[in-house]
Structure 1
């Protein structure tokens, strides 16, 4: 009997401990960028451990969960408060979440006894193991379904959209909308805290620069206040700078300044981001802001031996060769039309060989595959044709000045979307099995994802490619259009790699049909012909291959495009893989654009060559002698011509259309 009595007491004490935590304050909506939103919990006793609790956010549209946060390992402060928010919230939260995580309403915040794994996305609201819940809105109607599911009878209005209020718990257990008070008890009773702010005059510094970090409090301190901070962040550590990281605000003052010098070494470490953050603060001093991110620009970057895509009219060729395995395309020989297309798919979507990586892994892939050949610390941006620091990757909020992952085959048109696990960067050796029917993996296929300027990516949206007057997209003004061929070959790859995608002539306008179509095929063929693959594309093809174990065949074998969509689709025309340069008597050169007007570019020549121009009837019209890669100024009437190019006892004939 005594054992049962003691057990009952323990259970009562245990249950009591799990009723000491409540939702004290919620700010679900802030003006403009929504970057100051927060949730504050309160315990009945100070320094209360939050082990065994989970915070869950519910969406009123469906009345199910959209976010769960495990609270194990955390505790409330001496005032019993625990603040959750992004790095932009002041005072600085005890637990960080991403900007814009908290939805406006009508929604709910709840505390449960349990674990975040108990609440995967779209878990229905429940009262099982529920400790406390708050329903809120921003001038929305009451969500009676969510109220019933959580056993709550009142839904509190924070204010209209973009308001400056928060919803706060009063002593009587009711909630009111008023001025936010994060890290301060709502009734004003408790230990007064002193927040310390940090700032620098700028955020970007070069190696060798010296700068000051200023720490200040709103009021003068009444005794010497000593604390420490660190700048360590990933590869940036104490070997990269000099200066004191333990400082003292003297009695009677409110400011201390420390000077930091970034060491100028000779290592190509890439740009780095020192992160100024407090490492020791004694209560009642707290951080007003923290995690101040700076930029240390490395001047030891390297350059690749091939150029950026803007050299499309004089591309660098031959410095990068395909890393395709021997015989990779042998199964295509002798095939045509649908059989050829199927054989290509069998290679680039082969189950058990080809790998699918996560959408977050793609960031690392692009930092390598889209590296700016002229600056190893930058990525090269599609469309806007410029370099940008690899560190300036868009992760949330405004994308201005940042780069993100552009789907060359627009996501909504391809009908693929994120899946569970896509938010994890788990590296090359962890991957999904994939097939031609795995259209969902098109969301993270690096052959069709490129680094792009954030605002331009938004402007591009999900338009077809081609004439803007017909609703198409052909890039920003005043650029060279160097992405044309790259994009064409990227979407050609997607259309073959995944079942359910189709390139069509014209401009499909029913963007919500989810039929997988994209136009304009005629434009894409023109782009492919006029902007052939270069070393930049071949390099990215090689890089992506190391991750996905498949290649873009239209970079390795660009003529394949004509046999699947172009002018070589005919019952009596079959594909035969060209011999390698070492095996072939045919001269390997590129002649473009095609169609052309008054200029023709010839690339791939290393020595002196002759160019003979014939009509389709076989009459010789022109003769040129050139050395190396050259441009020919031509004066021919509209029509088709044959260009015979001879060099080093080898020759090739190219059909060129003159407009």
Structure 2
């Protein structure tokens, strides 16, 4: 008998200590409130017959919605959800059917009541309640509204602001074990008291400390919120940790800094508290490479593949890696998808020139129409284009094509007077004057006194400061391909005249190449120091040094193809190196 009494007492205590409760309410969600819900918690797999959920409007302290729970049950974990279509599962109750935004944002209330929906037609006052009904659980909430005394008097407790942490779209009002409520991150269909790591990582950034031809360092920063709740250990696999701008152990928010990380090396920052929090954040390395200076020589001696995978070239518009290197030339293949790629340099004043060898491949029909077929140009540090070189419809019907120049327009200001043939290589030289805002074009010229055509003479005040040369491929009338080679950029006509007759720096000799000796010799026609930057096939800088004895140590480099960017007396060239 004693054992039976004990079991009966235990059952009675369990039955009275855990009642049906409003466990969580999320009334204000992103957009048009398509993720609203009310979560009820009770004994798992238990019928909810005889219960009704009633929503009360704080404007008149009367009901505006009621949902009968007859026929519904809690799930295997004791949860039952009234919510929008997007978040509910089988066995839940959709509110409103096929819609959203039913739950008002406050000051309002929701209550779980013993009774039926028929007891609460719209505008039923919260006090007094209809005869035979009683509130089992309820909560009064708002989103930055004043307290509603009538609702509080009927339901009890205090009024909870879903936006008290300024995160109403991602937080909800949740019941604590002691019967009070709190506002924190949504725990939909899960325990409100489940322990979580409260520290969150925000923006991650990396900035060069210096930009030189040698090995530079950069500073990494990691923003955080949710700090001050535990004691954290912060470590980094490179550089030095600095918590002067924010310590997650003591500050609610701030910035973790890592100083002195070598360029080209990613840094991993680890934040641990010995318990719930174990966070690894990788800051991607930056390459602190100085901008090229004029004159520049580019002969496209790269492996076949995307142009922008190689040193100095970057995408600034369109589909990344669509513009290709083919057999040591850049292929501007008009059509879809498109890409704009550029090579940047330090701006200069006055005249600026580029020279290229170009070959238009036969597209199967002569070029017709004028549909934005410019393919080479100068560019400022935004999206201002100048000196646009374009393929144009031939002067004589039936001929293949001609070329044109535009100072600013996407269509030609002037057309070359003679026509050209597919499959033949021509050398174009373009000048843009950054003071007078005018462009000029020569074809196969030996001197700047040879025949040329001028683009529009535009307002001097609108002249651009040029900092990049670009190649462009886009849709055109015939979607022809244009092979580009032997790019030279300079400040005089002579500097861009010819790939063979110009820069002495292009006469670098690299030997042995391929090499397996651990070093290469780099010779030039003059004795000035040579700065060598070495890039792997992915474009990552792996070595940077200045040599004066013509020998470059490559013993620490693995077998493969590398690109050498050689700079001497202000001029730059790129060569390929193979290590076996």
Q: Same fold (TM over 0.5)?
A: no
Query: Which one has the bigger helix percentage?
Result: 1
More strand by share: 2
Q: Report the TM-score when normalising by structure 2.
A: 0.30
- Give me the TM-score of the superposition, normalised by structure 1: 0.27
- The higher radius of gyration belongs to 2
